[in-house]
Amino acid sequence: MPKNISDFESKPIKYVFTDIDDTLTHKGKLYPEAYESLWKLFAAGIKVIPVTGRPAGWCEMILRFWPVEAVIGENGGFYFIFDHNKKVKRHFFNTEEERKLNRDKLINIQNEILKKIPGASVASDQFTRLMDLAIDFCEDVPALPKSEVESIVDIFKNHGAQAKVSSIHVNGWFGDYNKVKMIKEFCKTELNADFSSINSNAVFVGDSPNDQESFEAFEHSIGVKNIDTFLPDLSHPPCWIANFDGGKGFSEITNKILTAV
C-alpha cells in the first residue's frame, strides 16, 4: 500500500515530472497554489516537465507560458523544448508520414466509437492534436459508466491501437510509445543521461490509470489524493499519496520536495 506523503524522504530532487489534469488542476481549473508551486520549484532550480495526455496545441502554450523545462504530450507521442536558440524544438515518436496515415485510421475508430457508445464524444481539444484520438467520457459529457469506458478501450485495441484511460478521456494511438518511453528518450536526448542515472533525483506525480507505468518506473512516485478512486484498478500504485486532491495535493508535494533541497 502507498505511504502517506508525510513519510516521503529522498535525496535532493532535481526533476519533477508531473501529469496535469486532476494532478495540477482541480475540477478543470489551475488554481493559484498549484501555479505558485511551479514557480517555487523553478526558483529552487528544480526542472519541471509536465507529462500529459493533452494535445500539441496546449503543450506549445504551456512551454511558452509556464515555468517548465519541457513538455511531453499526447501520452508520450512527442516532447517540446526550447533549443539553445530559444526556438521550440519538437521531437516526435512517429514521422510526419506515419502521423498522416494514423490520422485516417483513427477517424475510422472515432466513427465506430460514436456509433456504438451513446454518450461518448470526441474531446473538445481534439482539433489541436497531432498523434492521438481523445474520447471524452466525463469532461464535457455526463460521466459514462466504467463498463462503457472499458468498451471504448476495447474498440481501440480491436483496431490494433493502444489505449489509455485518464481521469477524463480515453486516449488511443498507433505506435509503440507511452509516457515512460518518451521520458527516457527525453533524458537521453536532452539531458545526455540514462533515465536510471537521474531516477534517484527525480519525482513523478500523477492521479490516474494512465500514470501507472510512470508510478512503476520512478523510485519516487507520488499520487495526489484523488488517485484513491483508481487504486483498486492499479497494478502499480504510487509509492506515496498526498493528503489533498489535485493542485492542493501538488502544492503539498512541492513543499515536501523543497524541504530536501
Give 86-130 as a DSSP string. Answer: S-EEEEESS-HHHHHHHHHHHHHHHHHHHHHSTT-EE-TTGGG-S
Q: In whole angstroms, what is the distance from residue 223 CA to residue 202 CA?
A: 14
As assigned by CATH, the class of the 3-93+177-258 domain is alpha beta
Instruction: Please state, for a pLDDT cut of 90, what percent of the chain lies above it.
Output: 94
The DSSP H or E segment spanning 159 is none
Residue 105 pLDDT class (50, 70, 90 cuts): very high
Domain ranges in the chain? 3-93+177-258, 96-173
Name the pTM for this structure.
Answer: 0.93
Whole-number pLDDT of residue 261: 59
Q: How many CB atoms lie within 10 A of CB 147?
A: 7
Strand extents, DSSP E, 68-227? 70-73, 78-82, 88-92, 121-122, 133-136, 162-165, 169-173, 202-206, 221-223
- Residue-wise pLDDT for 35-64, tens only, equals 999 999 999 999 999 999 999 999 999 999
Can you tell me the mean pLDDT for 234-259? 96
- Residue-wise pLDDT for 197-221, tens only, equals 999 999 999 999 889 999 999 999 9
96-173, CATH topology level: Hypothetical Protein Ta0175; Chain: A, domain 2 (3.90.1070)
